[in-house]
Amino acid sequence: MKLTIQARELTHALNSVIGGTDGRGPMASVLLMIDPLAPNTLTLTTTDNEIACRASAPVATATPGRSLLPIRKLYDIVRALPDIPLTITIIKHNATLLAGSSRYALAGLEPDQFPDVPSPLVENGVQLDAALWRGILRRTLYAIGQTGAKFTLHGLYVEIAGGVLTAVATDGHRLCLETLEIPGAGDLAWSGIIPRKAMIQLAKQLDGVETLTLGISYQRLVHIQAGSYAMTSRLIEGTYPNWRALVPQKAAPNALTVSREELIGAVKRASLVTTNGVIALDYTESGASITARSAEHGEAEEALAGSYMGTPFRAGFQDRYLTDTLGALDGEAVVCQQDGPAGALSIVDPAGPASRAYIMPIRLQ
C-alpha cells in the first residue's frame, strides 16, 4: 500500500477519529484503507468496541490496500510537519513516512487484528441542522450521569415521535430537556440512550458542518453522518427513567428574572467560603441574594438586582449544579421558578423556551 496526501488533510482526518480509540494494540490504532473502487479517497477508522469513528480525506496518488498503525504516534508526527505532500509506504505492516527532507518509520500491526466495525445501515434516519444539534449537546452533556450514577443515566436519551425530537440528560440531581421540531419526520418513532462518549466526540466534529443525519439500526446501534465524518455507537441497554415524572407538571407560582452572568458570578464568589459547595438562594422582593457560610471560613452574601414575583423564601443548592446549568445557556437573562424550598428549580432562557433545565434542591442545615 502506498499513498500521497497533504499533511494538513491527514492531520484533520486523524484528529476526527482519534477520540474513538482506547486501550493498546489494535484498540489504539487507526485502520487506513484505500478501496480499489475509490482510489482517490483515504478512509480512516478507529474503534473501542463501543463506538467506531470514520473519516475520509482526498489523496493525490494511491495504491489500494489496508494498514493498521499506532494513531497517537502517527498523529503527533503528521501534525508537526509543514503542510506539504506526505508519502506513506506500507511494507509488511510497517510504514515509512516521507515529507520533504523528513523521514519516519512506524511499526504497524496486521490489519486483520482490527475489530469488525458495522457498516452504517441507518433506519428511521432524520436530518438535523448541525448548529441546532451542537447547541442541544452544549446544553445537555454536562448533566449526563457519570461515575456513581445508574448506567442507564450515562448517556443522552433521544426520542423521536410526532415530528419532534426530544433529548434528555440527567444524573439524578439535575435534568435537561430539549425539544426540536423535525419537518417531514411525522411518521418516525424510535428512542435510545446514546453513550456520553459518543456525543462528546460528535460535538467536536460539527464546526463547519451544515447538516447531520441521525438514525438507528437493529434498535441497538446509532449511526451519525456529519460531512466526511461518520460514527457508529452501541446504544446503552436498559430502560431510561421516567423523566416525564421528574418534570413539574405545572408552572411554579413564582418567577425570578435575573442576569445570567451576574448569577453565575455571585454563586462562584459565595462558594469560596464553603467547604461543601452548598449555597442558599433567597428570593426577595428586590430580586435575589446568594449566601454561603462555614464554621471554618466565615460567610458571604451577594445581592442580585432583578425582578421577582411571588412569596419570598430560601432554598439550598449545590453550587456546581447551578454554575454548570447557567454556563450552558446563552441568553443574557434567565427565569428561575421554584414551588417552595423543596420544589425543583426550573431555569429557562426566555429566548430559548424549548430548552429547560431542572435542579433538585438540598436541605440547608
Residues 98 and 87: their CA atoms lie apart, in Å, by 5
- Give the CATH fold of the 123-246 domain: DNA Polymerase III; Chain A, domain 2 (3.10.150)
Q: At what angle do helices 130-140 and 196-203 cross, to 10 degrees?
A: 130
For the chain, the distance separating the N- and C-terminal CA atoms, rounded to the nearest angstrom, is 68
Q: How far apart are CA 78 and CA 73, in angstroms?
A: 9
Domain ranges in the chain with CATH number 3.10.150.10: 2-113, 123-246, 255-359
Contacts of 35 (CB under 8 A, 6+ apart): 41, 43, 64
Task: Indicate the SS3 state at residue 115.
Answer: coil
Nearest to 224 by CA among 313, 122, 317: 122
Q: What is the pLDDT of residue 144?
A: 95
Give the three cell numbers for residue 90.
Answer: 506500507
Distances (CA, A) of 22 to 41, 143, 221, 241, 280: 25, 24, 19, 29, 42
pLDDT at 121: 66
Residue 243's SS3 state is helix
> What whole-number distance in Å separates Cα of residue 72 and Cα of residue 18?
8
Is residue 32 packed enough to be buried (19+ CB in 10 Å), middle (13-18) or exposed (0-12)? buried
CA distance 65 to 93: 11
Question: What pLDDT score does 32 carry?
Answer: 97
The answer to whether 226 and 127 have CB atoms below 8 angstroms apart is no
What local confidence, expressed as pLDDT, does residue 24 receive?
67
What's the pLDDT score for residue 246?
86
Mean pLDDT per 10-residue section of the chain, whose length is 365 residues = 96 94 79 93 94 94 93 96 96 94 95 85 82 94 88 95 95 94 88 94 92 86 92 94 89 94 97 93 94 91 95 96 94 94 93 87 89
The CB density around residue 248, as the number of other CB atoms within 10 Å, is 15
User: Has this prediction a pTM greater than 0.75?
Assistant: yes
What count of residues does the chain have? 365
User: What's the confidence (pLDDT) of residue 122?
Assistant: 66
What is the CATH superfamily name and number for domain 255-359? Answer: DNA Polymerase III, subunit A, domain 2 (3.10.150.10)
Amino acid type, 210: E
Pick from 31, 24, 106, 99: nearest CA to 65? 31
User: Distance between CA 331 and CA 327 in Å, rounded?
Assistant: 10
Cα–Cα distance list, 27 to 46, 57, 71, 105 (Å): 8, 22, 10, 20
Question: Angle at the Cα of 141 (from 267 to 341), degrees rounded to 5?
Answer: 40
In three-state secondary structure terms, 240 is coil
**What CATH number should be reported for the domain whose range is 2-113?**
3.10.150.10
d(CA 140, CA 169): 6
Q: What is the DSSP string of 18-81?
A: GGG--SSGGGGEEEEEE-TTSTTEEEEEEE-SSEEEEEEEE-SEEE-EEEEEEHHHHHHHHHHS
The C-alpha atoms of residue 316 and residue 300 are separated, in whole angstroms, by 14
The DSSP code for 352 is -
Scanning the chain, the segments in alpha helix (DSSP H) are: 7-17, 71-80, 130-140, 196-203, 243-246, 260-270, 319-328
**Would you give the distance in Å from CA 185 to the centre of its chain?**
24
